[in-house]
Amino acid sequence: MINQNKKLNTGKITLGAIGIALGLLFLSPFYIIIINSLKTKKELFGSVLSFPKIFLLKNYMDAFERLHYANAIKNSLIITIGGVIVIAIFASMAGWMLERTKTKLSNAILLLFISSMLIPFQAIMLPLVRIMGKLKLLNMGGLVFMYLGFGSALSIFLYHGFVKGIPKELDEASMLDGCSKAKTFWYIIFPLLKPITVTVSILNVVWIWNDYLLPSLVINTPETLTLPLRTFFFFGEYTKQWNLALAGLTLAIIPVIIFYFIAQKHIIKSIAAGSIK
């Protein structure tokens, strides 16, 4: 009995040590970014891991000014929130209808959406930009529309799998009570999709917020540049201002961290609801 307790304690200590090591490993990039964002350029190139001799908060002030932070974060928020909302709305409706309408056509459409995830963006980006240019949609609205196209496949797949766990009798009961399909979805089904909607929103927020390639092809006016596009200005042809760039990157990830803390309660609930299902 004593040996078993010793083995259990040893196992807990080992797992705890592994957990701490993994935690430090995952936190190390944040440490490197924050510490080096407070250094002079000379100190940064001297040692990446050491603490700065003087904490230069001026780097953040310079980065804030050079990024045009207020305008850039406004553009990023508009594009990210708009993209996430339209993806959640259209993907949830499509996932629900494809699961409830079990025909060969619906299965083929679902397979088409899933197959589209295998096509790399680089293979279609030039024809896409050419077409969107002809339609005069190379702007923030057109960018949100393109995010709907690129983000729908995975989101529909996730919604489709989640809807399988919702009894079809709820749809039938609401129809018998006189609800249309639209009312059935919005008042009965969509509230039940909250756990998977949180998951879909998190995935798309991180993707859209950090995206550089697609906005760089679509947005071409200074007043509509997003934070990732502005951050690139710290890297010139002959010089790279790593200390200011890291300060800018820190400012860029702050909204995502705030979003995580706000959504933390819902994230935990969605994980718990998914495990129960």
Q: Residue 227 pLDDT > 70, yes or no?
A: yes
Average pLDDT over residues 124-140: 88
Beta bridge partners of 235: 240
| pLDDT, position 267 | 66
Q: Residue 7 pLDDT > 90, yes or no?
A: no
Cα(81)–Cα(73) distance, integer angstroms? 12
Whole-prediction pTM: 0.85
Average pLDDT over residues 123-130: 88
Pick the CATH number of 58-276 from 1.10.8.60, 1.10.3720.10, 3.10.310.30, 3.40.50.261: 1.10.3720.10
Which residue type, as a one-letter code, is found at position 198?
V
**Model confidence pLDDT, tens digit, residues 60-111:** 999 999 889 999 999 999 999 999 999 999 999 999 999 988 888 888 999 9
**Model confidence pLDDT, tens digit, residues 41-50:** 888 888 888 8
Q: Give me the sign of the Cα torsion angle 84, 229, 33, 14.
A: positive
Average pLDDT over residues 165-188: 87
Q: Name the percent of the chain lying above pLDDT 90.
A: 30
Cα(194)–Cα(3) distance, integer angstroms? 47
Confidence of residue 6 (pLDDT cuts 50, 70, 90): low
Confidence of residue 237 (pLDDT cuts 50, 70, 90): low
Beta-carbon contacts of residue 199 (< 8 Å; ≥ 6 apart): 158, 270, 274
What are the sequence ranges of the domains in the chain?
2-36, 58-276
More confident residue, 238 or 81: 81
Could you tell me the end-to-end alpha-carbon distance of the chain, in angstroms, rounded to an integer?
38
DSSP H helices, the chain, are 2-36, 41-46, 58-67, 69-100, 104-116, 125-134, 140-163, 168-176, 181-183, 190-192, 194-210, 213-218, 227-231, 242-276
∠ Cα 23 18 30 (to 5°): 15
Q: Are 163 and 91 in contact (CB under 8 A)?
A: no
Nearest to 225 by CA among 234, 217, 215, 235: 215
Specify the residue for token string 């909607």: 197
Q: Residue 54 pLDDT > 90, yes or no?
A: no
Q: Residue 238 pLDDT > 70, yes or no?
A: no
More confident residue, 217 or 261: 217
